[in-house]
Amino acid sequence: MTSCADIIANSDAQFGTSGVRGLVEDLNDATCVAYTYAFLQHLKTSKGLKQGASVWVGMDLRPSSAAMAKACLAAVEFAGCRPVFCGVVPTPALAHSALGDWAPAIMITGSHIPFDRNGIKFYRASGEMLKQDEAPVVNCQDAFPASLLGSPGLEPEVALPEVDPRAEDNWRARYEATFDGLLDGMVIGHYQHSAAGRDLFSDMLQGLGARVVQLGRSETFVPIDTEAVSTADADQARSWTIQHGLNALISTDGDGDRPLLADETGTYFRGDTLGILAARSLQASHVVTPVSSNGALEKTGWFSTILRTKIGSPHVITAMQQVDKPSNRIVGFEANGGFLSQSILSSPWNGARLSPLPTRDSVLPVLSVIALARQMKMALSQLHQLLPSRVTASDRIVDTMRESSTALIEMLRNDASRTAGLNHEGAALSEQDDTDGLRMTFVNEDVVHIRPSGNAPELRVYVESSSDQRAAELLKHARDAVAYML
């Protein structure tokens, strides 16, 4: 008997930072069926998922996503559950409706990684799948449903099911109720590219009162990485802002769970800066964020409790759950700008109730920061004045296998003389943190952090310094030094 575990073990598509990721050729029908069926069997065993229960399914606009969605939908039906197909939809919108229905969800997305790759993100009825859920899935000994592979429904010419509109409708209603009128009188640019929910997001912005200028729409997939905005995208943002007289420019990554917000000068907020300001706007008491996020968080003194984690939303969610009490107002964010909430919050704009959404959301941080600026009668660019002067920047070294990254980190951990070479001023090492990869703090308070990506064969390089110029110089120097050492 071939088990689901056998199929999964023979595929190079594996769990990464958040969900399953791999090359498109590895995410074939067999792999998608095995992971989906094993996930649902795990929920039946551990969470009491019943026969006939709903399972919400969505996808992004990658060329490979439709075929993967068909395979996942077939596996849901084979497992005795009822698929609710939401079509192309933002990941947080799918998660929001599934949570409201107390149902699992499956999102076909590779987020920001190149289009020759893709992924599957799983949600339990209580929220995003956590790290402890992975082992029961990959070790599932249930027989692999091989009969599905010959199903006519998986053929390319067969259309996907009719789209259930509830995920989009519920998502629109969530923010129209909590930020009604926020954007009155504003001109908002919307960089649409190939993001899931791009039309939905434009409709939401218009519904909140903005005059929306739609920009950069693409019918081919564009892998936008909100954590490492390209020079071309940064220049384009400034050009669009000037050309159209924008008060703000908004965008997301491919599956709509990581935000981009540029101010009235066309300058993008860093994701972790956006997260700090959104947490302030929402009057959070407890903030959870990965070790790679901006150190200005602690220096603000705004929050009673700050917890640092490994990189990846499952780690942030686990830490949020550990401090979950009715009296706490708990949020989390990542350096990519994705924002999560564990508690019932109040809208900073009109006080309306915001239900918890413990998964990355691109809409709440953007609207909360705009609300903060409007209430303080500041331009968006002036919000930086509220924060201590700590600037982060990041880059990546592509085509770097995990084995090479791990060996480099081990060498640097044990050789202080080489570590000093990563600082552009040659400052000595002050502190090391190996929570995730290797984060090195120098005596001049500069930070260099390196870690292998959990989603692709890349080595991530993060830096933090006291100004934009110093951070840019440090990033270039550290990246070149790391590339030389590999």
As annotated, the active-site residues are 111
Strand-pair category, 357-361 with 391-398: unpaired
Q: Alpha-carbon distance 39 to 79, whole Å?
A: 10
Q: Alpha-carbon distance 445 to 453, whole Å?
A: 25
